[in-house]
Structure formats: C-alpha cells, structure tokens
Amino acid sequence: MAVGSGGGRVLQDDALRGARVPGTGVLARCRSAARAVLTSRRTLHLATGAVAAVLYSNFLIDLLVPGPHEWAQQVSVLETPGHRSALLLRTTDVLAALLELSQLPAVRAALPVSRWRGLVVGGAAAFALGGILAAAVTLPADPLAGTDGLLTASSALDPEALRRAAHDGTSILSVGGMVASAGAAWMLLRRRPRERPRWLGPVVTVVAAGCAVELGADLVVALRPQWQLLDGVSQRAQMLTLSAWVVGLGAIAARPPRAVES
C-alpha cells in the first residue's frame, strides 16, 4: 500500500508539472507574433534605406546603360532633356526622395525628443523635397544657357537663367538639408552613449568630408577650368557619402519606437 500510495503521488506530481497554466499558450503566441512584426519592420526599414541610397547614387545605375558615361559632367547635366539617361536619372531621384520621406515618421519615433530631432527629420525632408524639385526643374538643355545672369540685354528676366537658378537652388537645398540632418543627429546623440549607434560618428565624418571635397573641387575648377573632370568625380563622391547617411537614417528608422513621445 505504501508503495502504491507513493507511486500515486509521483504520478500526481508529474501531472501537475505537465499541466499548463491557462493563457500561457496565448501569451507565447502573442510574444512570438510581436517578435516577428518587429523583425519584419526592421528588415523593411533597412531594405528601404539601402534601396533609396542606391537610387540616389544613380550614376552607378547609369554605368549599366550602354554608352559612355560623362564623368566630367555633373549628374544634373546628364538629367537635361535629350540626354540618353535623363529619364532614368530623374526617375531614380524622385523614387529615392519618396522612399526617404516614407522613413521619416519612424526616424522621428525612434529619436529622443529634442529640437535637434526636428532638424534631423526636417533636413531629411528638405533633402527629399529638394531632390524632387530639382528633378522636375532641370538645367537648360543648352549647357551655356542662362549663365550670363538673370537679366538679358533687353532688361527682361531670362527664362533660362531663372530655370538654372531654380535648379541650382533646389539642389543646394537638397544637399544642405542632408548634411544638416547628419550633423543634427550627432548633436542629438553625442551625449547619449547608450542610444548612439557606433557607426554614427564615422558616417557623419564621411558626410562632412564629402561636402568639403565637393566645395574644394568647385574652387579648384573655378581657378582651373581645364580640370572639369575633378568637379564631376567629386560630386559623385559626395553623392556616395550622402547615400551613407540615407542608409543611416534607415537604420535609425529600424529601431523600436521610443515609449514616450511628445
């Protein structure tokens, strides 16, 4: 009897250990679903950032198009009506901008509340909107049109000069916005080591270096016009550095939203 009683208690204990607490299966499934959603969300933002970066550095895509690539010309010149790659380059500019705009709500949600956060998001928005406008208002088809100023001999506004000024202005807005966005991200997170990704400092440095190289090349070409190739190559280098920040914004967007928002 003692043995039988002991065996019964063992069986009873095993049954209790094997019994499931009501609701634990549902909670486990919910946690698993939440992890899957977060993983897919992270993958989506990272992929969106990578695609937007490639589309922005669209001269890489242009290299795949049959025909010579004009390295001495800025990419804006290759987007003028009549050029073999104009439609491709302008379309990729717009697509990159739209993808970047789609990332900004998640970027804002992932960053701590600060006026610097507003500049991170606002600068990236200026980059996207400026890129769309620059693609819509291209440089004149004639490379020399509009280079003599806004006033013609008849004292009327020169439409080609206005078009060139509008394109150059929106391009500067786009590039300047992205540089400001990267700098603001560093100012926002530089004293938050737990929230600052390790790649932020190097990427911001690369963006600043690309800007310095482009400005230096502009100065050199202004003094030595025969070195036009330097201008085209330096602009493409700067596009690559800005693409690095496009990827960086995608990585920020992929982070979980902060619990407290205002």
Nearest to 213 by CA among 199, 232, 187, 186: 232
Whether residue 2 is predicted with pLDDT greater than 80 in this model: the reply is no
- Residue that wins the pLDDT comparison between 88 and 32: 88
Do the domain assignments include residue 240?
A: yes
pLDDT digits 0-9 by tens, 4-18: 455 555 445 444 444
CA angle 74, 80, 86 (to 5 degrees): 90
Question: 230 with 220: CB under 8 angstroms?
Answer: yes
Number of structural domains (the chain) is 1
Q: What is the pLDDT of residue 159?
A: 84
Which tokens is 77 given? 């010149």
Helix (H, G, I), strand (E, B), or coil: what is residue 151? strand
Provide the percentage of residues in the chain whose pLDDT is more than 90. Answer: 69
Do the domain assignments include residue 259?
A: no
CA dist., res. 146 & res. 172, Å (int):
18
243 Cβ neighbours under 8 A, 6+ residues apart: 53, 54, 56, 57
Do the domain assignments include residue 156?
A: yes
Lowest mean pLDDT across 10-14, 138-142, 241-245: 10-14
Do the domain assignments include residue 150?
A: yes
CA dist., res. 255 & res. 103, Å (int):
12
What size, in residues, is the chain?
262
Do the domain assignments include residue 260?
A: no
Domain assignment of residue 230, given as a range: 43-253
Lowest mean pLDDT across 36-45, 144-153, 190-199, 228-237: 144-153
Q: What is the pLDDT of residue 40?
A: 87
Do the domain assignments include residue 192?
A: yes
Residue type, 188: L
Q: What is the pLDDT of residue 31?
A: 66
Question: 160 with 142: CB under 8 angstroms?
Answer: yes
Provide the percentage of residues in the chain whose pLDDT is more than 70. Answer: 78
pLDDT digits 0-9 by tens, 52-81: 999 999 999 999 988 888 999 999 999 998
Which tokens is 191 given? 């004293």
The whole-chain average pLDDT of the chain stands at 85
Question: 250 with 37: CB under 8 angstroms?
Answer: no
Lowest mean pLDDT across 25-39, 178-192, 232-246: 25-39
